[in-house]
Chain A
Amino acid sequence: MSTYLIRRIFLIIPTMFLVSVLVFFSIRFIPGDVITMMARESFLTHQDRASIEHSLGLDVPIYQQYGRWVGKIILHGDLGHSLWGEVPVFNSLSQALPVTFELSLLSMIIGIIISLPIGVYSAIRQDSVGDYIARSFAILCIALPTFWLGTMVMVLPALWWGWSPPLIYVPFTKDPANNLVEFLVPAIILGMSLSGVTMRMTRTMVLEVLRQDFIRTAWAKGLKERVVILRHALKNALIPVITIIGLQVPFLIGGAVIVEQIFGLPGVGRLIIDATFQRDYPVVSGVVLIIAVFVLIVNLLVDITYGLFDPRVHYR
């Protein structure tokens, strides 16, 4: 297992190199000039422009800029500074990342809490009324766009009952209870959007496993339904479901961007949007790089989790 882990960690390096090249260069190819945006209505002489470019490190060829950026990260762990205020990217990220992480984690937990029981029930009561309702609910969760659902949750209760979800972010460290209350509604919305696919996959896999011979044997032995499902069927059925959940992490972060906007959560999504509009290259590059690392680590953890569920899986 340790050899496998070391090998996987080493494989991250070339992946990260490719990601770094992609994120660094892609933002710089978007039309729009940050210095023109900074100057706005001012007339800049060539000298002024050159001076600003120099102070921002934009006066060297782009490959040199890349080299400097990567060098700073590797040697000093420095993601650079915002072009618009010299705020270190790390500072902005350290404030935004916990918010997105909390939202993603809660959404994933809620998504699993919704999807697994319903998926299992739907499978063991196949073609019943409950199954049809569950499957319709799963399709609804997949079909309803997050931004629409979030907007409806914001607008309709305010109109009908004079109520809106909490809209002002309170850090967890300041007030854990209010923080969790604030995250509840957006996490449910995001969790629901993820749960649809997981629900259907769970149902399919449980149905497939229930048709296996070893399950027939378990029934023949007179085991209770709860034991057959939870101890024998579910463990085998969950392996592909874990893969699905792991693959949803990048979509979770993407979905979090919209939910963060609607519910006023100062997460990574908002940070990236603002930075992209401002053409704040270091912030966008740094944040996307960190997210990429996060996704790679999550995928590694997902792979390791297989071994826990399936003893046949050995990592060498």
Chain B
Amino acid sequence: MLKRKIVWLVVSVLIILSMALASCGKAEPATTATSGTTAEPATAEPQYGGTLTLLDLWHSTSADPESWDPSVYNWLNSEPLKYHMETILVGDIDNKGPRGDNTYIFDNVNGVPASVVTGHLCDTWEVVDSNTIRLHVRQGVKFQSNPKVMAQRELNADDIAFSLNKMITGPTIASRFTWIDSITAPDKSTVLVKLNKFNADWQSYLGYYYYAQIYPQEMITAGAADWHNAVGTGPFIVSDYIRGSMRTYKKNPDYWGTTTINGKKYQLPFIDELRFPVMPDVTARLAALRTGKVDINASVTWQDKASLAKTNADLTVFKAPYAGGHMINMRVDTKPFTDINVRRALNLAIDKQAIISAMLGGEGVLLNLPFTSDWPEYTPLEEYPHEVQEIFGYNPDKAKQLLADAGYPQGFETQLIISDTFMTSGLPSLVVDSWSKIGVKCELKTYDYSTFETVIFGKQQTQMIWDRTGAPTALGALFKFCITGASVGGAFLSDPIIDQAYKDASAETDPLKALALARKGNEQYVKDVPQIWLPAEYTYEFCWPWVKNWYGEISAGSFDMGVVTSRIWIDPDLKQKMGY
């Protein structure tokens, strides 16, 4: 018996040793995906029918709608509602996107540039003067029939006024609409918006905002929280919902929308059914894509793209820079961050190019905030003065000198508040280590994401706070980050040049002039260096080749994938040929 025990002990030790030795093997260097094809503009004839299964854009545990009631103003609620409901304006993906003149790639979930906005439920509009906007309701648009709610009927101006008025008086968001006096419907096809102050971002707020869906009053009366009562004008109808599991939409046979492909007009949508499985786990999402259980995964990170491209070379891939990025806000109203030299020093101490090459899979954008790099009004880094370009380089010696000039020759101690969700990127540890080399000792104070939100929106940080976010529009970026009292301004910056630029831009009724003014505000903000901008990674959208007429667009507004999915079709023969 003793002999047997010794034998088993030896065998166990040998197994463990061999596993340990195997794990010490040389790590494979990260490779940039070289395989994976990009789609060409559609030449084949569209096909009607089939089911499109895709993973939610926002890969979080809240991929479920909190409520089907559009007047529950949780931004995460927005996307599930925009397949059966629509907004009065959208981004023009047919003409301005990759299938058109490629002005914009529609990769920002939060919004679209003003230059690509087009009419949707309101097909035309006029800015009458700085206090009046007139919108014209598109004719022939019908609300879906729902036996529990209402018979099919035509959309009219009263519906638009009702929905938008509900939004602008929503208890948690009313403060965003104080510039609006009233929204009325003087007749069935006209909506009149009266303003007490012009806001050049009105197209975003009223046109396609997270909460700007248009719905009938009958739905509210019937009980909008119940998905069975969901009614809209959109290309799809909610057909099934299992909380935590799946959202299913079926084709709206009476949808008004069309698209033109190769000169021929087609009725939308093409597919019969749209399915959104809820999969909060990243490995499950990747496995679902690999095995063909989902057709599209539009949120693959750089960490997974190489592996996917290697194991599933058939997949089509699109990429776009993340619509925002990581930033470290320094409280410029608190020492030692009151001195711009300290802020510049902390930037110079971080090797941002090395982050791109070693940590982001070799692809990244150095400056992607507050304006994202694919906006027409973005200022490339090369157009900034030398002292701005310099802070995106790496020079720890100069950083130490700048600290010394600011009166901190030995460095200083500070605190950085961060959410636990940002820790997984590995960047915080790198940043803290980089700063330690110039004498700055930084304590990382980690919170769960919900507590972090309370801190950042409550502006409770005392030193620095790390954030990862973006903005829907140029003016939105100034409002969110840059102006005095900015809504998420973690840096507490107060620069009269920026405030004036924002004021002038907001009041400008010409959208292109407004953007030019906003650009000035953004440039000033970057020159003030209130933040440390870490390189923005690319996100990757993967799909199977049988998915047609999709070019990686992920939103035609604020979380508006309904417009995009209505234009996609499936090639069932190809799918079968590939064995799925």
Name the B residues within 8 Å of A270 (CB-CB): 61, 244, 280
Q: Is the CB of B288 within 8 A of A164?
A: yes
Name the A residues within 8 Å of B488 (CB-CB): 41
**Interface positions of A from 23 to 45, Cβ below 8 Å from B:** 30-33, 35-45
Measured in the bound complex, the distance between the Cα atoms of B73 and A277 in whole Å is 17
Name the B residues within 8 Å of A31 (CB-CB): 447, 451, 454
**Interface positions of B from 62 to 84, Cβ below 8 Å from A:** 62, 64, 66-67, 69, 72-75
**Interface positions of B from 454 to 471, Cβ below 8 Å from A:** 454, 457-458
Interface residues on B, range: 35 or more
Chain B: CB-nearest residue to A85: B67
With A41-B487, A42-B173, A127-B1 known as contacts, the answer to whether A168 contacts B244 (CB < 8 A) is no
Bits for A253-279, please: 1 = Cβ < 8 Å to B, else 0. Answer: 000000001111111001101101111
Chain A: CB-nearest residue to B69: A85
Q: Is the CB of A52 within 8 A of B487?
A: no
Among A107-115, A153-161, A219-227, A292-300, the one that faces the other chain is: A153-161
Q: Is the CB of A36 within 8 A of B454?
A: yes
Say yes or no: is B22 at the interface (Cβ < 8 Å to chain A). no
Say yes or no: is B348 at the interface (Cβ < 8 Å to chain A). no
Bits for B35-58, please: 1 = Cβ < 8 Å to A, else 0. Answer: 000000000000000000000000
Give, as a whole number of angstroms, the nearest-CB distance from B446 to chain A.
Answer: 12
Say yes or no: is A14 at the interface (Cβ < 8 Å to chain B). no
Q: Is the CB of B279 within 8 A of A159?
A: no
Q: Is the CB of B283 within 8 A of A262?
A: yes
Chain A: CB-nearest residue to B449: A277
Name the A residues within 8 Å of B74 (CB-CB): 38, 84-85
Name the B residues within 8 Å of A33 (CB-CB): 454, 458
Chain B: CB-nearest residue to A280: B66
**Interface positions of A from 119 to 166, Cβ below 8 Å from B:** 127, 129, 132, 136, 151, 154-155, 157-159, 162-164
Chain A: CB-nearest residue to B289: A158
Measured in the bound complex, the distance between the Cα atoms of B453 and A206 in whole Å is 55
Say yes or no: is B424 at the interface (Cβ < 8 Å to chain A). no
With A44-B175, A261-B280, A277-B61 known as contacts, the answer to whether A30 contacts B290 (CB < 8 A) is no
Measured in the bound complex, the distance between the Cα atoms of B390 and A121 in whole Å is 72
Q: Is the CB of A273 within 8 A of B1?
A: no
**Interface positions of A from 150 to 208, Cβ below 8 Å from B:** 151, 154-155, 157-159, 162-164, 167-169, 171
Say yes or no: is B311 at the interface (Cβ < 8 Å to chain A). yes
Name the B residues within 8 Å of A85 (CB-CB): 66-67, 69, 72, 74, 225
Say yes or no: is B26 at the interface (Cβ < 8 Å to chain A). no
Name the B residues within 8 Å of A274 (CB-CB): 61-62, 64
Say yes or no: is B286 at the interface (Cβ < 8 Å to chain A). yes
Measured in the bound complex, the distance between the Cα atoms of B225 and A33 in whole Å is 24
Name the A residues within 8 Å of B12 (CB-CB): 136
Question: Which of A30, A82, A154 is within 8 Å of B287, CB to CB?
Answer: A154
Say yes or no: is B423 at the interface (Cβ < 8 Å to chain A). no
With A154-B287, A158-B287, A264-B279 known as contacts, the answer to whether A32 contacts B245 (CB < 8 A) is no
**Interface positions of B from 474 to 510, Cβ below 8 Å from A:** 480, 487-488
Q: Is the CB of A266 within 8 A of B286?
A: no
Say yes or no: is B171 at the interface (Cβ < 8 Å to chain A). yes
Q: Is the CB of A278 within 8 A of B172?
A: no
Q: Is the CB of B457 within 8 A of A86?
A: no
Say yes or no: is A48 at the interface (Cβ < 8 Å to chain B). yes
Say yes or no: is A248 at the interface (Cβ < 8 Å to chain B). no
Q: Is the CB of B242 within 8 A of A167?
A: no
With A48-B175, A279-B450 known as contacts, the answer to whether A39 contacts B457 (CB < 8 A) is yes
Question: Which of A40, A132, A157, A265 is within 8 Å of B75, CB to CB?
Answer: A40
Say yes or no: is A92 at the interface (Cβ < 8 Å to chain B). yes
Q: Is the CB of B283 within 8 A of A154?
A: yes
Bits for B273-299, please: 1 = Cβ < 8 Å to A, else 0. Answer: 001011111011011101111000000
Question: Which of A32, A42, A87, A129 is within 8 Å of B67, CB to CB?
Answer: A87
Q: Is the CB of A37 within 8 A of B171?
A: no
Query: Which of B279, B287, B480 has the most chain A CB atoms inside 10 A of its CB?
Result: B287
Q: Is the CB of A263 within 8 A of B284?
A: yes
Say yes or no: is A96 at the interface (Cβ < 8 Å to chain B). yes
Q: Is the CB of B171 within 8 A of A43?
A: no
Name the A residues within 8 Å of B281 (CB-CB): 154, 261-264
Question: Which of B8, B173, B292 is within 8 Å of A132, CB to CB?
Answer: B8
Question: Which of A43, A151, A158 is within 8 Å of B175, CB to CB?
Answer: A43
Say yes or no: is A55 at the interface (Cβ < 8 Å to chain B). yes
Q: Is the CB of A264 within 8 A of B458?
A: no
Say yes or no: is B176 at the interface (Cβ < 8 Å to chain A). yes
Say yes or no: is A95 at the interface (Cβ < 8 Å to chain B). yes
With A42-B176, A51-B171 known as contacts, the answer to whether A277 contacts B279 (CB < 8 A) is no
Q: Is the CB of A40 within 8 A of B67?
A: no
Name the A residues within 8 Å of B73 (CB-CB): 38
Chain A: CB-nearest residue to B476: A41
Name the A residues within 8 Å of B453 (CB-CB): 32, 36-37, 40
Measured in the bound complex, the distance between the Cα atoms of B5 and A136 in whole Å is 12
Measured in the bound complex, the distance between the Cα atoms of B457 and A35 in whole Å is 10
With A36-B458, A167-B277 known as contacts, the answer to whether A86 contacts B67 (CB < 8 A) is yes
Q: Is the CB of A96 within 8 A of B244?
A: yes
With A31-B451, A167-B293, A266-B242 known as contacts, the answer to whether A55 contacts B171 (CB < 8 A) is yes
Contacts A35-B172, A42-B172, A266-B243 known; 11 new A-B pairs at CB < 8 A:
A39-B172, A41-B176, A42-B176, A52-B172, A86-B225, A96-B243, A158-B291, A167-B279, A264-B244, A264-B280, A264-B281
In the A-B complex, list the 8 residue pairs whose CB atoms are closest, starting with the nearest. A266-B244, A85-B67, A169-B245, A158-B287, A41-B487, A164-B287, A32-B451, A31-B451
Residues of chain A whose beta carbon lies under 8 Å from any beta carbon of chain B: 30-33, 35-45, 48, 51-52, 55, 82, 84-87, 92, 95-96, 127, 129, 132, 136, 151, 154-155, 157-159, 162-164, 167-169, 171, 261-267, 270-271, 273-274, 276-279
Q: Could you give 23 example pairs across A and B, Cβ below 8 Å?
A: A36-B453, A37-B454, A38-B74, A40-B172, A41-B480, A44-B172, A48-B172, A84-B66, A84-B74, A132-B4, A155-B286, A158-B287, A158-B291, A159-B290, A162-B290, A167-B287, A167-B288, A167-B293, A262-B281, A262-B284, A264-B279, A266-B244, A277-B450
Residues of chain B whose beta carbon lies under 8 Å from any beta carbon of chain A: 1, 4, 8, 12, 61-62, 64, 66-67, 69, 72-75, 171-176, 225, 242-246, 275, 277-281, 283-284, 286-288, 290-293, 311, 447-451, 453-454, 457-458, 480, 487-488
